[in-house]
Structure 1
Amino acid sequence: MPFFNRLASSAALALVLLAAAGCDPQRISELEEGLSTEVDVRDRFGPPDQVWDEGNGSRTLEYNRQPAGQRNYMITIGPDGKMSALRQVLTPENFARIQAGMGMDEVRRRLGKPAKVTPYALSGETHYDWRFLEPPNTAMLFTVVTDRSLRVLRTQTTPDMASPDHNGPR
């Protein structure tokens, strides 16, 4: 019976993750820049995956939807405790800002936690993948390839073959 309990738990967790991802637009629509507080944000999204200090009294709360989702949110709380910005950061515009030579810490700060990290010991490279939707609704992967010193060597964008939305061979 332990196998079936683990299977049932895994299925329940998957349903919760899917339901949570589907609720994001509703939760976001309930928040208003300049009016909503950090308490409002946490009430709707829960505890953040990461809190980034902006150095000016502001903080950015990271709400990661990887690996099952295709969005990562950065919500900035100003020094006054009010939400000053809400951004979905997995966009082609943000990906274009990731350049060769950039440190992985800066990439992580811009895009949030990746869906998957794959080290390749022989080449000394590590691939970091983020799942995202390319407009209008195509499931894609953005990959950052780093060297041993965690500096960006290159990036690439490919179809997300593992996505349930992908219509081609897997």
Structure 2
Amino acid sequence: MDGSAVIHFAVSKAEEWQRTIDANLYGILHCTHAAIPWLRGRPGAVISTVSSGGGRYGIAGWSVYNATKFAVVGFHDALRKELAAEGIRVALIEPGAVWTEWGNNVPAEAMRERRRSLDALHPEDVAQALVYSFAQPDNVLAEEILVRPLLQTSP
């Protein structure tokens, strides 16, 4: 990544943290909380969330983003343990570089070039991981799926 685009935590702003936390953590908490009542008593029920490889690896300049994604991993691990006895499976999909217009703290052209050089995933690739998590027999859990481009060797 372009080092000039990195924004270190020490110079970041609380408003930026709040937006990231609201979207990446509270969004998942609210949606999951609303879904659980609908899933109870349904054979094969699955909560499958798309998060990020950023929940496994910290990246300089992405501190708060990484914190939210690490929190999602911990949340899903605990939730899986809470809901397993009810037959609700909890799966987490963690994509690496994906073709999107979003790039945290990175100029758009630099992000497009990085994705081109990695032959980044397409949304359909991530969707296939989701389908895989849902397609397992009721007693099988695809707990975590890290899916990233073959050429992506670092976060």
TM-score (norm 1): 0.25
Higher strand share: 1
Structure with more contact order per residue of length (Cα contacts < 8 Å, sep ≥ 6): 2
Q: Which has the larger radius of gyration?
A: 1
